[in-house]
Amino acid sequence: MADAKGKVKRRTKKPAPAGPDKVKRIAILTGGGDCPGLNAVIRGVVRAAILEHGWEVLGIQDGFDGLLAAGAHRRLYSHDVRGLQARGGTILGTSNRGNPLSYPVKASGKTVFTDVTGEIVRNIGKLGIDCLVAVGGDGTMKIAQALFEKGVRVVGVPKTIDNDLEATDVTFGFNSAVNTATDALDKLHTTAESHHRVLVLEVMGRDCGWIALEAGIAGGADVILIPEIPFDLAGICDHIEKRKRTGSRFSIVVVAEGASPAGGEKIYEREPGADGNPGRLGGVGRWVADKISLCTNLETRVAVLGHLQRGGAPTTFDRILATRFGVEAVNLIAAGEFGSMVCLRGRKIDSAPITAAIHGIKRVDPRGQLVRTAEALGIELGRMP
């Protein structure tokens, strides 16, 4: 800004707002499955912590593993996060195996599952970390809460492409995943139409059908199958045959990996184990396609989108949400609101106790507005008659 004489006045640096006692060094980790937007959160946290408060930031490598004996960390500077808003994945690495509340430890040649959070608390103390920012889904938030109960100052940032975390309207990563799935449906449409085929797209969604439902509506699917509505094959086949009779010689089916037939079970590529391994879902798309082909005699093909939904650059929406979450996490630390998680309510960034996010998961309401929108468009949800 120039003064009356036209001389440019230098801006004096804004004094850093006083934080809670003794916050000098914070740390950030990303846990659970990756998703687009994690790097934008890291950038938001690092920049706001350094520029607004002059705090040091440590980046913890590979989720909570980085706080165990063999773990690794490094100091993050402003230049380390340059341009990160546009980059998928996480520069810190992540892990969705080895939950520290039940960690596989070798003892006398056997693997035993042990709570190693005590070791994490000690290492946080040794590293002089005044507050830990944990970015992750429900698994990460459960661990963050356990650490908070042991006296660690933590702040949570919710992420998951599945959008199934309670206490926030939306998680970043979801919009990018829906975009990828919608794009795939647009592509499948042209080939399905050309060959007069039924094309089945299997998308992610372990317990909740948010990706399938939103991408299905946006991508003009004819059938959408979600975990919240156990499906009836006869109704689905009737719908596809009726489309054919009325001149639509192709159909597009989108199925969430966690969807299951009424009275049946979820389909796993690798079954869950007694050791707490949650199993790997996969195969319901093939299963549905085979049944449709048998029952309608129509040529059917399957595409499984898999980890393409978790990769690549975040959408503009996710970049902004993730950045706002990162900056707000720093504000929570400055305000001393430990044990809280940032969240989105309407258009406003807010916060909630981490406990509010982990008491259950946010499912699609089978009679809710979004489902009714799909049904109003004539989309078959596979409901039992």
| Residues noted as catalytic | 162
Cα 248 to Cα 239: distance, rounded to the nearest angstrom: 11
Per-residue x/- marks for ligand F6P, 59-98, CB under 6 A?
A: -------------------------------------x--
Cα 39 to Cα 81: distance, rounded to the nearest angstrom: 8
Cα 61 to Cα 117: distance, rounded to the nearest angstrom: 16
CB 281 within 8 A of CB 268: yes
Q: Which stretch binds ligand F6P (CB under 6 A): 22-30, 38-46, 159-167, 238-246?
A: 159-167
Q: Which of 39, 94, 160, 175 binds ligand F6P (CB under 6 A)?
A: 160
Output 206 or 243, the one with its CB closest to ligand F6P: 206
Q: Which of 205, 209, 261, 339 binds ligand F6P (CB under 6 A)?
A: 205
Angle between helices 210-218 and 369-376 (to 10 degrees): 30
Cα 63 to Cα 152: distance, rounded to the nearest angstrom: 16
Output 23 or 29, the one with its CB closest to ligand F6P: 29
In eight-state DSSP terms, residue 101 is G
CB of 86 to ligand F6P, least distance (A): 21
Bridge partners of 168, per DSSP, are: none
Q: Which of 162, 166, 232, 328 binds ligand F6P (CB under 6 A)?
A: 162
Residue 174 backbone class (left: φ over 0; alpha: ψ -120 to 50; beta: rest): alpha
CB of 345 to ligand F6P, least distance (A): 22
CB 341 within 8 A of CB 352: yes
Q: Which of 124, 281, 329, 374 binds ligand F6P (CB under 6 A)?
A: 281
- How many CB atoms sit inside 10 A of residue 206's CB? 18
204 part of the interface to ligand F6P, by CB under 6 A = yes
314 part of the interface to ligand F6P, by CB under 6 A = no
153 part of the interface to ligand F6P, by CB under 6 A = no
Output 288 or 298, the one with its CB closest to ligand F6P: 288
141 part of the interface to ligand F6P, by CB under 6 A = no
In eight-state DSSP terms, residue 355 is H
Residue 324 in tokens: 């706002």
CA angle 101, 103, 108 (to 5 degrees): 135
User: Among candidates 62, 131, 57, which has minimal Cα distance to 92?
Assistant: 62
Output 21 or 271, the one with its CB closest to ligand F6P: 271
Output 19 or 136, the one with its CB closest to ligand F6P: 136
209 part of the interface to ligand F6P, by CB under 6 A = no
33 part of the interface to ligand F6P, by CB under 6 A = yes
Cα 136 to Cα 66: distance, rounded to the nearest angstrom: 15
Output 202 or 328, the one with its CB closest to ligand F6P: 202
Q: Which residues bind ligand F6P (CB under 6 A)?
A: 33, 96, 160-162, 204-206, 257, 280-281, 310
